[in-house]
Amino acid sequence: MKVKILTFGSLTEVLEREFYAEAPDTSRLVALLTSKHAALDGRKFLIAINDTIVKENTMFKANDVVALMPPYSGG
């Protein structure tokens, strides 16, 4: 599945701010990106699909927009 990827924060130092990738689910997307960009290996980041953060492997649907964000903290 071809999905649109948006990156935020420090991830934009490694990845383009906006690009497309082919992957069927979030796990394979992460594997694809870490295989192409060694700087991502071991790095933690959040994944959101269509503005909803997902914590488990999730299948993509047509026209999904995936956001990759560094972990955030607040108080």
Domains and CATH numbers, the chain: 2-69 (3.10.20.30)
Beta-carbon neighbour count of residue 15 at 10 Å?
A: 19
The predicted-structure confidence for 43-73, as pLDDT tens digits, reads as follows: 999 999 999 999 999 999 999 999 999 988 7
> Given this model, what pLDDT does residue 72 score?
80
Structure tokens, 20: 């497309």
Residues 6+ positions from 65 with CB-CB distance below 8 Å: 3, 4, 6, 49, 50, 51
pLDDT tier at 75, thresholds 50, 70, 90? low
For residue 48, the SS3 value is: strand
Stated pTM of the model = 0.91
Q: Which helix (H) or strand (E) holds 46?
A: strand 46-49
Coil vs helix vs strand at 40: helix
